Chain A
Amino acid sequence: MKKVLLIILFSVLLLLKCNGGIEPEPVKPEGPTGFKGKITFTGTWPEGVKRTHLVVFKKPIEKTDDFFPPNLSFVSDSIPYGSSVFNYSSIENNFLPIFQLGEGTYSYVVVAQSKTETISFERKDWYVVGVYCNNNNQSSPKELILCAGEITEGVNINVDFNNPPPQPPN
């Protein structure tokens, strides 16, 4: 009987360790979460480019699969060919509304171009032409931090067609 009591006691101790389980999330600020900024283009636009998008990735791209969902987190509307400046807002220029940006840190924000008419989900079809970076050093991507219910401003990217950034793994 002592052993039975020990087992029951052990179970009670185990139970004391647990709390009430899942809790509701605390109230978050109302309003959309996103970012806005300006993309500046320098140099001559490459020929044959059909699509130019601002693209946001959750983690740095280390392998081909990282180029796609779920790591791919945002795709802007296509930027018109030949633009010199493009002002954007992630709320107004969301090309794939099924992708909803949430609060958090995004490691790789780039401008990428493709020569396909329709949007392609093949890594080989894309070429990165500009990176959101620290001190204009395109080899040092800058993290984009989004807070719930806030629009982060000043996410500006310079695209210099004469000085392309390093390409992620293909």
Chain B
Amino acid sequence: MYRLFLLILLLGNLSLAQRGKITGRIVEEDSQPIIGANIIISGTSYGGATDEKGRYEIIGIPYGQYTMEVSCVGYEKVSKKVTIDKELTQINFILRESAIETEQVLITASKFEQKKEDLSVSAFVIKPDLISHKNYLAFDELLRDIPGIQVNLEQVSIRGSSGYSKGVGARVLVAINGIPFYSGDNGDIVWEMIPISDIERVEVIKGPASSLYGTSAIGGVINIITKDVAQVPVTYIKSYAGFYDNPSYEIWKWNNNLRTFYGTEISHSSSTGGVGYTISIKKFDNMSYRQNDFRKNYLGYFKVNKTIDTNQSILLFGNYLYMDRGNFLYWKDSRNALVPKDEDNGNTVKSNRFFSGLVYNNRLTENLNSTFKLSYYYTRFDGYGIEVTTSIANLFRTEAIFNYSNRGNFNYTGGIEISGSIVKSNIFSDTRFRGGALYFQTEYRGIKNLIATLGLRYDYIKLDTIKGKNAVTPRIGLNYKITSDLILRSSVGTGFRAPTPAEVFTMAGIAGGIDVEQNPDLKSETSFSFESGLIYSPSEHFNIDVAFYQTDYNNFIEPNLTKTGDIKFINLTKARIQGTEILCNWGAVPSLLNLTLAYNYMWARDIEKNSPMKYRPRNTFNLQIGFTKQPFELNADFRYSSKVEEIDFELTEPPLALIKDGYKRVPVYVIDLAGGVNFIFSNIAATLKLSVKNLLNYNYVELIGNLAPIRNYTLSAEIYF
């Protein structure tokens, strides 16, 4: 009887054991819901999945301590210890996207979606979480961390394609959603205009891509893909503030005030009735660590996306930048490294820029897709020095792309492009430019494990009164999967770049006592390049990519000092850039610790003189360490580049010696650290980040007479609601 009583009491206790309910949301880092994520409570049969709003609910869980595991295809798995000791427990999760390196999808290499493992050229993809975690404030900061890319002040170069020419005549085509983004007068790229918070990913094609993209892509392509508009309303606010540390030497301290920088961005994204939109405004100022190098910026950005039906969609976006900045050209001397030359002090530049693009997609048949792109770029800058220099440029561009795939062995892509610009300027003259192009590319998959690509592009370019120029740029690419984890790729092709109006027609003093001469005889430069690479991916957590590349340039355009002491853009007869690049991604502790190592050896030389080309380091090395243990993340980046051998010695040495101590240059060793914590507070996803850039406070130059940013600290806060 006593035993029966005990049994009844025990069963009663069991049936009356307290049970709780867990609810919560599972979202991406930008607060977008993750649908269909699985939640299990380890060691039990309890579990659930998220709905279309990312919500989940698990009921009837006995009180106790458990481990919850959340997983979803395309995201890194997360686990968390929880204690159920009350009726309702709310637990939210933030998941990070994960992608196996070779399975990444790119659209830039062939103007249609391809897996990275199917490409015949070197490519690199920067994922949005990386952009966010490293607390980048400007797009060029991000580029400095990409192996094979070098940034000299504002000028970007892939595998040595450019030296330094004040941003004039870019050899890397930067595009937003596939639409080229360079100005109509000097062909420069203004990094401040790029809306960092709306970047979905950045695709980098290393090596000439003229056979698809024409002029400016002779060195490669950087394509910025913006995010899809949010399906549920999301407001995003980011604020940051930071300051520069004291310079290394007391004599460099030119001002006793704390040199600060700050910015605030507010954006809202939503969808209603098949129309999605994103609007954003941003104000960001920087006092700079150097005198007369301040920047005050306002950036406005909008994007509207309409899905007309299952076959048609339209995207319209635009950004406007107002910039008021000092014009620091070169230091006074190495004892006054943060102070400009007396004659340049007080010079300022004000600029207004508006860029807008429209992308219309129409799937005409099951096999035929068409894309129509239209863009307009207005730029105006006024430089205030001894004289006022002004340039106003209007650049129009349109492109139609057709892609046919019958799901057989062939895939065809073709397109037509028309562009033109009108420049009114007292330094580049009043000039007009127009160009047209036709291109075609076919991909063949008829042989097992082999993908062959053949492309051809014809360009016609007419620069004002100068005789029109034609260019034909073919390319052949091969991708062969030797085994399931070893891929061989090879590419041979030609490229070309037409001189920009600024390179041909500039006729002005550029301060510091230097004048620029016109050169209407400047020819287009052409290139012949070869690349071969191997990707070895023995596991999803490790891959190594080795590439050998060589590009021969004819009529390479570089600024040069004339006999009369002026600067003039001239054609170097022949130049050759050869190198090898090794890139290794390693998930040392999957989902916890990731490493990226990259080494690039590059020998860039003027073949006629057998001398190194200016501003190209022979050796570069990058090490990136990312540690994530939700809710914390920590990233450390180290980059090294060897001392550049050749610089503008004409400007640094007697007799001109316009840049005193300008010969001073050193190898570059830079460490950046960024740490952050993600959390959800009252259903608001938030992130706090702290970063230290140039941790060692190492003093180096990217361009002669321009000390790179000294150590600086940034604290930022982001919320999504």
Q: Do A and B come from one complex?
A: yes
Candidates A23, A24, A27, A58; contact of B654 at CB < 8 Å: A58
Candidates A1, A11, A24, A98; contact of B588 at CB < 8 Å: A1
Task: Decide if B10 is an interface residue (CB 8 Å cutoff).
Answer: no
A15 B657 Cβ-Cβ under 8 A: no
Task: Decide if A101 is an interface residue (CB 8 Å cutoff).
Answer: yes
Given contacts A15-B696, A24-B251, contact A102 B593 (CB under 8 A): no
Q: Mark A95-133, 1 if CB is under 8 A from B, else 0.
A: 010111110100000000000000001000000000000
Question: CB-CB < 8 A to B597: which residues of A?
Answer: 7
Q: Mark B459-488, 1 if CB is under 8 A from A, else 0.
A: 000000000000000000000000000000
A69 B248 Cβ-Cβ under 8 A: no
Task: Please indicate which of the listed interface residues A11, A14, A102 has the most CB atoms of chain B within 10 Å of its own CB.
Answer: A11
Question: CB-CB < 8 A to B248: which residues of A?
Answer: 20-21
Candidates A15, A25, A101; contact of B333 at CB < 8 Å: A25
Residue on A nearest B652 in the bound complex, by CB: A70
B656 A98 Cβ-Cβ under 8 A: yes
B595 A7 Cβ-Cβ under 8 A: yes
A74 B655 Cβ-Cβ under 8 A: yes
Question: CB-CB < 8 A to B697: which residues of A?
Answer: 20
Given contacts A8-B625, A14-B640, contact A98 B565 (CB under 8 A): yes
B625 A18 Cβ-Cβ under 8 A: no
Task: Decide if B273 is an interface residue (CB 8 Å cutoff).
Answer: no
In Å, the complex CA distance between A74 and B665 comes to 26
In Å, the complex CA distance between A23 and B666 comes to 10
Task: Decide if B561 is an interface residue (CB 8 Å cutoff).
Answer: yes
Given contacts A1-B588, A14-B640, A15-B669, contact A121 B337 (CB under 8 A): no
Candidates B335, B513, B593, B656; contact of A69 at CB < 8 Å: B656
Task: Decide if B384 is an interface residue (CB 8 Å cutoff).
Answer: no
Question: CB-CB < 8 A to B640: which residues of A?
Answer: 14
Within 8 A of A (CB), among B587-605: 588-589, 593, 595, 597
In Å, the complex CA distance between A1 and B627 comes to 13
Question: CB-CB < 8 A to B667: which residues of A?
Answer: 18
B588 A3 Cβ-Cβ under 8 A: yes
A22 B699 Cβ-Cβ under 8 A: yes
Within 8 A of B (CB), among A1-56: 1, 3-4, 7-8, 11, 14-15, 18, 20-25, 27
In Å, the complex CA distance between A96 and B655 comes to 10
Q: Report, as a range, how many residues of chain A touch the other chain.
A: 20 to 34
Question: CB-CB < 8 A to A15: which residues of B?
Answer: 638, 669, 671, 696
Question: CB-CB < 8 A to B638: which residues of A?
Answer: 11, 15
In Å, the complex CA distance between A18 and B563 comes to 39
Task: Decide if A158 is an interface residue (CB 8 Å cutoff).
Answer: no
In Å, the complex CA distance between A24 and B248 comes to 10
In Å, the complex CA distance between A24 and B561 comes to 27
- Secondary structure call for the A interface: loop
Residue on B nearest A22 in the bound complex, by CB: B699
In Å, the complex CA distance between A22 and B697 comes to 11
In Å, the complex CA distance between A102 and B663 comes to 13
Question: CB-CB < 8 A to B666: which residues of A?
Answer: 21-22
Residue on A nearest B655 in the bound complex, by CB: A99
Within 8 A of B (CB), among A50-87: 58, 68-70, 72-74
Within 8 A of A (CB), among B312-336: 333-335
Given contacts A15-B669, A22-B707, contact A73 B701 (CB under 8 A): no
A24 B655 Cβ-Cβ under 8 A: no
Query: Nearest Cβ in chain A — how far from B248, in angstroms?
Result: 6
A98 B513 Cβ-Cβ under 8 A: yes
Query: Nearest Cβ in chain B — how far from A83, in angstroms?
Result: 25
In Å, the complex CA distance between A15 and B593 comes to 22
Query: Nearest Cβ in chain A — how far from B650, in angstroms?
Result: 4
Candidates A11, A23, A102; contact of B249 at CB < 8 Å: A23
Candidates B251, B625, B655, B696; contact of A100 at CB < 8 Å: B655
Within 8 A of A (CB), among B211-269: 248-249, 251-252
Question: CB-CB < 8 A to A74: which residues of B?
Answer: 655
Task: Decide if B382 is an interface residue (CB 8 Å cutoff).
Answer: no
A104 B563 Cβ-Cβ under 8 A: no
Residue on B nearest A33 in the bound complex, by CB: B654
Residue on A nearest B248 in the bound complex, by CB: A20
Task: Decide if B653 is an interface residue (CB 8 Å cutoff).
Answer: yes
Question: CB-CB < 8 A to A70: which residues of B?
Answer: 561, 649-650, 653, 655-656
Given contacts A68-B563, A70-B656, A99-B654, contact A14 B664 (CB under 8 A): no
B593 A24 Cβ-Cβ under 8 A: no
Query: Nearest Cβ in chain B — how far from A114, in angstroms?
Result: 14
Residue on A nearest B597 in the bound complex, by CB: A7
A73 B654 Cβ-Cβ under 8 A: yes
Residue on A nearest B251 in the bound complex, by CB: A24
B565 A69 Cβ-Cβ under 8 A: yes
In Å, the complex CA distance between A70 and B701 comes to 23
B699 A23 Cβ-Cβ under 8 A: yes
A21 B625 Cβ-Cβ under 8 A: no
Candidates A22, A25, A69, A100; contact of B650 at CB < 8 Å: A69
A69 B625 Cβ-Cβ under 8 A: no
Q: Mark B553-572, 1 if CB is under 8 A from A, else 0.
A: 00000000101110000000
A21 B655 Cβ-Cβ under 8 A: no
A104 B698 Cβ-Cβ under 8 A: no
Question: CB-CB < 8 A to A101: which residues of B?
Answer: 654-655
In Å, the complex CA distance between A3 and B565 comes to 54
Query: Nearest Cβ in chain B — how far from A152, in angstroms?
Result: 14
Residue on A nearest B621 in the bound complex, by CB: A14
Query: Nearest Cβ in chain A — how far from B546, in angstroms?
Result: 18
In Å, the complex CA distance between A69 and B291 comes to 31
Given contacts A4-B595, A69-B650, A101-B655, contact A22 B334 (CB under 8 A): yes
In Å, the complex CA distance between A133 and B699 comes to 43
A73 B698 Cβ-Cβ under 8 A: no
B334 A23 Cβ-Cβ under 8 A: yes
A104 B334 Cβ-Cβ under 8 A: no
In Å, the complex CA distance between A58 and B656 comes to 12
Residue on B nearest A70 in the bound complex, by CB: B650
In Å, the complex CA distance between A104 and B640 comes to 32
Task: Decide if B661 is an interface residue (CB 8 Å cutoff).
Answer: yes
Question: CB-CB < 8 A to A102: which residues of B?
Answer: 653-654, 657
Task: Decide if B623 is an interface residue (CB 8 Å cutoff).
Answer: yes
B669 A14 Cβ-Cβ under 8 A: yes
Question: CB-CB < 8 A to A1: which residues of B?
Answer: 588-589
In Å, the complex CA distance between A58 and B654 comes to 8
Within 8 A of A (CB), among B87-103: none
In Å, the complex CA distance between A134 and B707 comes to 44
Query: Nearest Cβ in chain B — how far from A5, in angstroms?
Result: 10
Q: Mark B531-560, 1 if CB is under 8 A from A, else 0.
A: 000000000000000000000000000000
Residue on B nearest A56 in the bound complex, by CB: B655
A99 B656 Cβ-Cβ under 8 A: yes
Given contacts A21-B700, A25-B334, contact A104 B664 (CB under 8 A): no
In Å, the complex CA distance between A149 and B623 comes to 46
Given contacts A69-B565, A70-B655, contact A4 B333 (CB under 8 A): no
Question: CB-CB < 8 A to B655: which residues of A?
Answer: 69-70, 72-74, 96, 98-101
Residue on B nearest A10 in the bound complex, by CB: B623
Within 8 A of A (CB), among B617-637: 623, 625
Question: CB-CB < 8 A to B698: which residues of A?
Answer: 18, 20-21
Residue on B nearest A106 in the bound complex, by CB: B654
B700 A104 Cβ-Cβ under 8 A: no
In Å, the complex CA distance between A7 and B597 comes to 9
Candidates B589, B657, B661; contact of A25 at CB < 8 Å: B661
In Å, the complex CA distance between A131 and B701 comes to 40
16 contacts between A and B (CB under 8 A): A11-B623, A18-B667, A22-B664, A22-B700, A24-B251, A24-B337, A27-B335, A58-B654, A69-B561, A73-B655, A74-B655, A96-B655, A98-B656, A99-B655, A100-B655, A100-B657
Q: Which 4 A-B pairs have the closest CB atoms?
A: A99-B655, A21-B699, A121-B563, A73-B655
A sample of 13 more A-B contacts (CB under 8 A), given A15-B671, A100-B657, is A7-B623, A14-B669, A18-B667, A22-B334, A22-B707, A24-B249, A25-B335, A25-B661, A27-B335, A69-B563, A70-B649, A98-B513, A100-B655
